[in-house]
């Protein structure tokens, strides 16, 4: 029997993509954001004297010819972290977030309620500049203790991958819940040996695993003495394939330059390839600003005025 045939492992819906332009903008934005913000890439604009001012043209002109191919595996892993954080902040992933919080409430015996009007995912980890000041965004950690120990706050923020912050309605109470992402070898996350090296307070995870069913699965795990909620994207899942498709096209642009003329025959995808070409020589902040214009603001959780988003909160109950 394959691992996913267990009754404890459940397929989960990723929702319907209603805005293709916003969806593809998110892919390209996340990749550029990772290149700009991640500290551990072997080839990085962060080593340029002009950083944080840099351009795609500057990267191509100052780095080895095949530099992007050399960091592809890292981009599949770390870049997917940035994409997933942005993706989870969009409404079409609401079922995933609801499933995550529902399962955490059961595992940790928390009587959550549905008065939430905002939740948001954030990059954590000392290897990203985006984690700066993350601690100031929330007031409490969840769970309050594991193995009879409180969280080691700085180590948890520095050594995790993402943080889900949920906000209590009409209150300053905000709780941070931490997790891990493996964009390449997600199957390792089903082993105790993986979690022995991780923070106990990382109580959820997302991983890309072997398999071709194009599904996303969720399961509760108990590994290294900690209860967690784990999501598994199979390699052929469209989310994973689309992200790697975007990575492949950025690699082609770095190899051939902005005059590379081949088309993907996907109008929305080609639109953003052309945006990168158009902004090839401009500051990366301008490119990120342009890409963000196409990420539908009404599609982001916590930013839709006048309506409550009914996810779970009040973990003190």
**What's this model's pTM, rounded to 2 decimal places?**
0.90
Residues 186-244 pLDDT 10s: 999 999 999 999 999 999 999 999 887 889 999 999 999 999 999 999 999 999 999 99
φ and ψ of 273, to 5 deg: -60, -40
Higher pLDDT, 98 or 161: 161
Residues 130-154 pLDDT 10s: 999 999 999 999 998 898 888 999 9
pLDDT at 16: 81
pLDDT at 111: 65
Higher pLDDT, 1 or 30: 30
| Domain residue ranges of the chain, discontinuous segments joined by + | 3-299
Q: Which of 8-12, 77-81, 130-134 has the lowest mean pLDDT?
A: 8-12
């Amino acid at each position: 029997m394959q691992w996913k045939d267990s009754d404890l492992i459940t397929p989960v819906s990723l929702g319907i993509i209603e805005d293709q332009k916003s969806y593809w903008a998110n892919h390209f934005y996340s990749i550029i954001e990772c290149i700009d913000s991640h500290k551990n890439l072997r080839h990085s604009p962060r080593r340029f004297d002009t950083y944080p001012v840099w351009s795609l043209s500057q990267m191509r002109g100052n780095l080895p010819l095949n530099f992007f191919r050399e960091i592809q595996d890292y981009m599949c892993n770390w870049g997917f972290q940035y994409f997933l954080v942005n993706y989870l902040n969009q409404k079409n992933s609401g079922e995933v977030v609801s499933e995550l919080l529902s399962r955490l409430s059961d595992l940790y015996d928390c009587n959550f309620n549905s008065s939430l009007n905002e939740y948001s995912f954030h990059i954590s980890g000392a290897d990203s500049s985006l984690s700066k000041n993350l601690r100031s965004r929330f007031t409490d950690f969840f769970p309050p203790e594991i193995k009879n120990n409180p969280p080691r706050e700085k180590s948890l923020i520095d050594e995790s991958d993402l943080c889900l912050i949920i906000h209590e309605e009409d209150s300053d109470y905000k709780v941070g819940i931490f997790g891990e992402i493996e964009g390449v070898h997600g199957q390792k996350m089903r082993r105790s040996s993986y979690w022995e090296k991780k923070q106990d307070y990382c109580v959820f995870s997302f991983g890309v695993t072997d398999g071709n069913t194009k599904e996303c699965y969720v399961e509760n795990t108990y590994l290294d003495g900690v209860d967690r909620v784990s999501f598994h994207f199979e390699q052929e899942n469209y989310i994973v394939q689309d992200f790697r498709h975007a990575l492949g096209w950025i690699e082609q642009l770095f190899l051939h330059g902005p005059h590379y003329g081949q088309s993907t025959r996907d109008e929305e995808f080609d639109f953003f390839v052309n945006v990168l070409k158009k902004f090839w020589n401009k500051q990366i902040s301008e490119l990120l600003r342009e890409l963000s214009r196409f990420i539908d603001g009404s599609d982001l959780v916590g930013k839709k005025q006048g309506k409550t988003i009914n996810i779970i909160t009040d973990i003190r109950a």
